[in-house]
Amino acid sequence: MRIGILGGSFDPPHFGHLLVARQAKEVLNLDQIWLMPYFMHSWDSISSSAKHRFNMTKLIEETGISACDEEIKYKRKSYTIETIRRLKIKYPHTFFWIIGSDVLTDFKKWKEHDNLIKEIKFIVVSRNGYRLPSKPPKGFQLVSSPQFIANNISSLIIRNRVRKNLSVNNLVSKLVLSYIQKYNLYKYP
């Protein structure tokens, strides 16, 4: 099986995540997409607990797109290289790690970044405001327009809108919105 992994905070998961997952699955002919929230990131802050973020990610599952707790269940800082190595031992699949074009500038911060491109193929999708390079770096495959529709929805925008009591109806699913409201997530203390 060909599995695409879309990692991130999913704080909260939103329609932008689904758009990327659906298109990656279709354009790259992948069998499944695993949405993989991290437990803790090396340099990115998160607002919600891993439990809340994983529960919300489960709410956006659909055929061929599912939440994966591989990084959360280790209850420590996430390093992609370790996750990939665990997955390759556990599953006989071919994995692809999906990142946005905004991540390319920070890739050298990733633990063992030189070894990462030997372990797994990275798929780079266009993200508004971050142009794809004209030539892919070694170990990266670029997915560019018109094949791929970029979006600028971000979890940060959603959290800020919730804090200001602005609508997020067209940014997150009704189930995710209900979850945010039920647990009073993203409100100022």
Confidence at residue 189, expressed as pLDDT on a 0 to 100 scale? 57
Give the pTM: 0.92
pLDDT digits (tens, 9 = 90+) for 11-42: 999 999 999 999 999 999 999 999 999 988 66
How far from the centroid of its chain's Cα atoms is residue 134's Cα? Answer: 23
Q: Which domains does the chain have, with CATH numbers?
A: 2-152 (3.40.50.620)
Give residue-wise pLDDT tens across range 73-99. 988 887 899 999 999 999 999 999 999
Residue 157 class from Cβ within 10 Å (0-12 exposed, 13-18 middle, 19+ buried)?
middle
* Band (149; pLDDT cuts 50, 70, 90): confident
